[in-house]
Amino acid sequence: MINELIKLIQSQEEELKKLQELLETQYEMIMGKDVFGLEGLVDKINECGKKIAKQEIERRNILGDSSITDVVNNSDNEELKKSYAKIRDTLNKVTSQKETNDILLKQQIIFNNKMLEIINPRREIRTYNSYGNLSR
């Protein structure tokens, strides 16, 4: 069981590294405002996510109801502990990069919406409500 788990963790880490590379590419495209490149990258990111999800299901089948942290902590296998530490580090990097990309994309969408509103303002007559704010 431990050897299977080690192989699975190593395989999962490889896929996470591929995902990290794709997210870094996405970051570069966001910063370069390469919309068409971003569109082409979506399928690759989704495919990588599906592979990681399949591996996660395999890991859960191997471990059953046990949590991976319990198995790693109770194990005397140093290779398992090293592999688990590496995958946690890689996962943290992937999560951080994904959050950064999400924030940048949201900022760009807000900016684009504001620019569109400036270029093409609403034509309706706006009135003030009871609080003194403009209503839409």
Residue 108 to residue 42: CA distance in whole angstroms: 17
Say yes or no to pLDDT of 127 above 90.
no
* pLDDT at residue 135, as a whole number: 76
Q: Where are the beta strands (DSSP E) in 13-130?
A: 127-128
pTM, 2 dp:
0.81
- What domains does the chain contain, in order, with CATH numbers? 2-124 (1.20.58)
Residue 41 contacts residue 26 (beta carbons within 8 Å): yes
If residue 64 lies in a helix (H) or strand (E), which one and from where to where?
A: none
* pLDDT at residue 134, as a whole number: 76
β-bridge partners, 134:
128
Summarised one tens digit per residue, pLDDT across range 33-91 is 898 999 999 999 999 999 999 999 999 998 888 888 888 888 888 999 999 999 999 99
If residue 134 lies in a helix (H) or strand (E), which one and from where to where?
A: strand 134-135
Say yes or no to pLDDT of 32 above 70.
yes
* pLDDT at residue 136, as a whole number: 65
Q: Which of 11, 1, 19, 24 is nearest to 86 (CA)?
A: 11
Q: Which of 98, 94, 80, 95 is nearest to 14 (CA)?
A: 94
Say yes or no to pLDDT of 101 above 80.
yes
